Amino acid sequence: MKIKETLFSLYTHAPSPISKWAYAMARTYLYVDRRDSLFDCVFRAVSESQSAGDYLEFGVFRGTSFINACRLARKHGLDEMRFFAFDSFEGLPDSEGVVMRQGAYASSRATFEWRIV
């Protein structure tokens, strides 16, 4: 089994502390997510402007972006920011002309809640 598949398997099936480690390793060594740098810029700008507000994310899937947003908000001292996640957890709806299939990105609420704890 390749390293990426092994880390993914650990992340999705192992107990929480181990899976979070596998996730961190995969994110660090297997690919660079450009969302992190974008989110970092956004939260830095919000912090520097001393703007008040909350974070809302629609379509959280398994929570990767949501987790990163929480982490980066804390990094930039936005401790009063509240976080709201919205998802049907049923995946994409059926849509004519769309390349992705119905149900793609389906994930359970339990999986999302387990990952964000």
Domain that holds residue 95: 52-116
> Would you give per-residue pLDDT tens digits along the chain (117 residues)?
576 667 666 656 666 666 666 666 666 655 545 666 778 888 888 899 988 789 999 988 878 888 888 988 999 999 999 999 998 888 777 766 666 677 777 887 888 788 777
Instruction: Confirm whether 78 is domain-assigned.
Output: yes
Please indicate, yes or no, whether the overall pTM of this predicted structure exceeds 0.85: no
Cβ proximity of 73 and 40 under 8 Å: no
Instruction: Confirm whether 14 is domain-assigned.
Output: no
Total number of domains in the chain = 1
Instruction: Confirm whether 26 is domain-assigned.
Output: no
Tokens of 60: 């959280």
Instruction: Confirm whether 31 is domain-assigned.
Output: no
Instruction: Confirm whether 24 is domain-assigned.
Output: no
Are β-strands 55-58 and 83-86 bridged in parallel, bridged antiparallel, or unpaired?
Answer: parallel
Cα distance between residue 117 and residue 112, in whole Å: 9
Helical spans, DSSP H, in 1-117 = 3-13, 16-29, 34-49, 64-75, 109-116
